[in-house]
Amino acid sequence: MIDTAGVTDRLAGLGRLGVAFSGGVDSSVLLALAVRALGADRVVAILGVSPSLAAGERAAAHRVAAHIGAAVVEVVTHEGDREAYRANGPDRCFHCKDELFTRIADEVVAAHGLDAVAYGENADDARRPDRPGSRAAAGHRVLRPLADAGLDKAAVRGIARDLGLPCADKPAAPCLASRIPHFTDVTPEKLHQIERAEAALHRLGFTELRVRHHGDVARIELPAEDLPRAVADPLRTAIRDAVVAAGFRFATVDLTGVQSGAFTLPLVRIARA
């Protein structure tokens, strides 16, 4: 069992806690540890809902929260109303998270008597240069118990397995806007295209994937082990048909595989050079 005392010690003494929750491994582990430390009646999972959240991810988040025994409060966010978010620069995540934490402060904290809000940043993410959302969290004084306890991605996933969470082996699932190249506008129509295409590919049996939006072209990222079957019939034709049905004209499979931070990291590195 991985030691979680560093997290529970940081939660001790809190009255009521809100956890910014997505159903991913990090926020689910934080939610589960908070429920264990404080009790289910003193913890609420806060799920931001907008066009950048796929319907499947929303439903999965509710299932994980139910498994943990935590109540879920949905907050409708309007990051799409922010010009800086739509412009889709490398700081897009800042504007998204700032919108989320602003809505939580305005609509949830007082209504649910929360003493603090926390989110699931881990120690690895805290060291990455392409995480502007952490700046928004700091500006809103949102706690980050996992990172402060020194828990990295591997440790957090290990804790999820120790706790028997249904998302323990769930691949990372960044928001749909992360599939759109920077400096290309984020629109509800593009997000809907991406969501439709990815949902169809999931139904074809692919568990980890990204559909990157390049105008008429859908660039599909899959793990290396999935590439051979993706480019051979019958899946090759099924993938193309699914992508065209989602509104793209062309489907390509990226031989590099799944790439975390594919659009943001190169720009951040250039800026820091």
- The pLDDT tens digits for 26-74 are 999 999 999 999 999 999 999 999 999 999 999 999 999 999 999 999 9
Domain residue spans of the chain: 5-162, 176-264
- The pLDDT tens digits for 1-30 are 889 999 999 999 899 999 999 999 999 999
Check residue 133 and give its pLDDT: 83
Query: How far apart, in Å, do the first and last CA atoms of the chain sit?
Result: 41
Check residue 1 and give its pLDDT: 82
When pLDDT is averaged across residues 125-153 and rounded to a whole number, the result is: 90
Check residue 266 and give its pLDDT: 57
Query: Is there a contact between 238 and 254 (Cβ–Cβ < 8 Å)?
Result: no
Residues catalogued as catalytic: 175
3-state DSSP percent of the chain in helix, strand and coil, to 5: 50, 15, 35
Separation of alpha carbons 5 and 45, rounded Å: 21
Separation of alpha carbons 45 and 74, rounded Å: 8
- The pLDDT tens digits for 76-117 are 999 999 999 999 999 999 999 999 999 999 999 999 999 999
3-class secondary structure, 148: helix
Same fold, 5-162 and 176-264: no
Sign of CA dihedral 86, 199, 227, 172: positive
Report how far Cα 209 is from the mean position of its chain's Cα atoms: 14
For the domain spanning 5-162, the CATH number is: 3.40.50.620
- Owner of token pair 């999965």: 60
Q: Which amino acid is at 216?
A: D
Say yes or no: domain 176-264 is CATH 3.30.70: yes
